[in-house]
Amino acid sequence: MSWKEAAEPVLSRMPVVERPAGHVPFRRKLTWTAGILVVYFFLTNINPFGLAVGQGSDFFGQFRSVLAGSSGSLLQVGIGPIVTASIVLQLLGGANLLGLDTDDPRDQVLYQGLQKLLVIIVTALTAAPMVFTGQFLPADPAVGQALGIGTFGVKSLIFAQIFVGGVLLLFMDEIVSKWGVGSGVGLFIIAAVSQQIVGGFFSFSALGARGFFANWFAIATGGTQLGSPFTSAGLESLLFEPGNILALFTTVFIFGIVVYAESVRVEIPLSHARVKGARGRFPVKLIYASVLPMILVRALQANIQFVGQLLSSQWAGMPGWLGVYGDQGQPTSGLFYYLNPIQQPQQWMWFRGTATGEPWMIALRLAIDLTFMIVGGAIFAIFWVETTGMGPEATAKQIQNSGMQIPGFRRNRQVVEKVMERYIPQVTVIGGALVGFLAVMANLLGTIGQVSGTGLLLAVSITYKLYEEIAEEQLMEMHPMMRQMFGNE
């Protein structure tokens, strides 16, 4: 008996959001999307019952804009388990260890069930150490005494709430993907990053840290002194705090460069084999795999650092070469220090006295981070293209099934595939490496709201693609015949 036959009774019975039987009107899609977004914001503002609010540490703080969660809320784990499960499945699928044919309806059900099962398992494995170690989500002893269940009982209660929140996020993502516009993961990332950016621009001291406009209002009214920009102290205050000119430049630059990169493409001409005069183009964008593979890279880094945090807190005799952790729970030397990505300018500017470690240690850490992001971005971009039906073979099959062909070539799938192989693999690697490089550069220079470079790249790219998808939905709504042509009816 193969593993598929043994696991089919379980995987085929995993709860699933049913696909719509027919066409979903555009307004209804927007309603579903907006409703899920409201529920997401609602869940990020609910603290688990029994949690000692204001205590503990948020290790995932530097990855929050990528993992789209909220510290101390029901969505503590964010989309981390979904991304981790995707990494595992992509690696197993890329090595052809699963033996699943995604073109077979039976194997499709098994694949989706396996993905859900992995997400549920990873959610439990992620939430358990956060709760039961007491370092990240400490329990309130008073609640345990009042209920008579003790501290362990309160921890179990918090774990159950965090686990349910993670599972809810899984099905919210599925609802948006099937009934809404875009994907739930992308929607949650946009929401998390937008919160940080809006707060970074418009927050005032009464609401917490002051934002960019509040700082410049204080500078304009004389409440804050910048000093002369021709002195080192004045130039530093202008570029960093409180002026934040460098962060503003980086934010605007990343917005511009991503929108420009999304518009750079190689367009392969197509013509219909039977309808004379019907022509089109197949665009191979510079960022062909999008920036979503960056989620996989950053999630892998987050999981590595999470393991380091657990070893440091639970293993008193952990060797120094593995990692030495400071008072704030961040590594100051050792292997986990060099594998920890640089997220802010303060973490590498040793000449300002804000960075931890010697200059050569910081340079080595930066080199590892840059290599990890560029190489990892290219590798995961390849995996993403091959597993999402965007590779040369899958693309050639789609073109042939639509009745289109490349002018000047025989109408043969192998011929179209060879033409696609001239562009897609190379563009995929270049685009993945470029996105990784931009993410590191944005982290080094800093952004408004202290959004990570990866988070900002993801938000801009996903928003751009969401705009394109909304425009496509509106076009199909106006011309129903196009839905039949593209198989969306």
DSSP string, 386-408: HHTT-SHHHHHHHHHHTTEE-TT
Q: Are residues 223 and 177 in the same domain?
A: no
* Domain co-membership, 46 together with 136: yes
Higher pLDDT, 306 or 65: 306
CA distances in angstroms from 476 to 25, 243, 270, listed in the order given: 10, 47, 20
* Mean pLDDT value of segment 1-12: 79
The pLDDT value recorded for residue 1 is 56
Q: Which of 116-130, 143-157, 164-178, 307-321 has the lowest mean pLDDT?
A: 307-321
Interatomic CA distance for residues 381 and 371, integer angstroms: 15
CB 355 within 8 A of CB 349: yes
Q: Is residue 306 in a domain?
A: no
Does residue 21 lie within any of the structural domains? no
Please indicate, yes or no, whether residues 255 and 392 belong to a single structural domain of this protein: yes
Whether residue 162 is found in the same domain as residue 267 = no
Helix (H) or strand (E) holding 280: strand 279-285
Residue 248 lies in a domain: yes
Q: Do the domain assignments include residue 46?
A: yes
Residue 134 sits at the vertex; the CA angle it makes with 130 and 138, to the nearest 5 degrees, is: 95
Of 44, 43, 70, 56, whose CA–CA distance to 140 is shortest? 56
What is the helix, strand, coil percentage profile of the chain, to 5?
Answer: 65, 5, 30
Mean pLDDT of the chain: 82
- Measured at the CA of 411, the angle between CA 281 and CA 480, to 5 degrees, comes to 50
Q: Tokens 């499960």 — which residue?
A: 85
- Is it the case that residue 207 has pLDDT exceeding 50? no
Residues 232 and 91 in one domain: no
- Domain membership flag for residue 3: no
pLDDT at 275 over 70: no
Domains: count for the chain: 2
Q: Which residue has the higher pLDDT, 340 or 326?
A: 340
Q: Is 324 helix (H, G, I), strand (E, B) or coil?
A: strand
Q: What are phi and psi of 49, to 5 degrees?
A: -65, 130
Count H helices, E strands: the chain? 19, 5
Is the pLDDT score of 77 beyond 90? no
Let me know whether 155 and 236 are in one domain.
no
Q: Which of 303-307, 409-413, 475-479 has the highest mean pLDDT?
A: 303-307
Specify the CATH number for the domain of residue 229: 1.10.3370.10
Mean pLDDT of 476-489: 57
Residues 43 and 132 in one domain: yes
DSSP state, residue 51: B
Question: In whole angstroms, how far apart are CA 160 and each of 82, 123, 139?
Answer: 18, 11, 13
pLDDT for 432-463, tens place per residue?
Answer: 898 888 888 888 888 887 787 778 888 888 88
Whether 21 shows a pLDDT value over 90: the answer reads no
Average pLDDT over residues 28-57: 87
SS3 category, 354: coil
Range of the domain at 138: 27-181
Identify the weakest region by mean pLDDT among 296-310, 341-355, 426-440, 473-487: 473-487
Domain contains 118: yes
Establish if 190 belongs to a structural domain. Answer: no
Same domain flag for 167 and 264: no
- Tokens 């563009």: give the residue: 427
Residue in 354, 306, 37 with CA at minimum distance from that of residue 184 = 37
Residues 44 and 149 in one domain: yes
Q: Which of these ranges, 176-185, 304-313, 431-440, has the smallest mean pLDDT?
A: 304-313
Confidence of residue 6 (pLDDT cuts 50, 70, 90): confident
Looking at the domain assignment, is residue 77 inside a domain? yes
Q: How far is the first Cα of the chain from the last one, in angstroms, to the nearest whole number?
A: 39
Omega before 242 cis (within 30°)? yes
Residue 243 C-beta-side C-alpha neighbours within 13 Å: 16
Reported as a single tens digit per residue, the pLDDT across 360-390 is 888 999 999 999 999 988 988 888 887 777 8
Do 122 and 261 lie in a common domain?
no
Q: 395 and 276, same structural domain?
A: yes
Q: 246 and 164 in one domain?
A: no
What's the full length of the chain, in residues? Answer: 489
Check residue 205 and give its pLDDT.
61
Each residue's pLDDT tens digit, 385-420? 877 778 888 888 877 777 777 777 777 778 888 888
401: tokens are: 């099934």
Helices 392-401 and 424-445, axial angle in degrees (round to 10) = 120
Is the pLDDT score of 33 beyond 80? yes
Q: Place 61 in a pLDDT band, splitting at 50, 70 and 90.
A: low
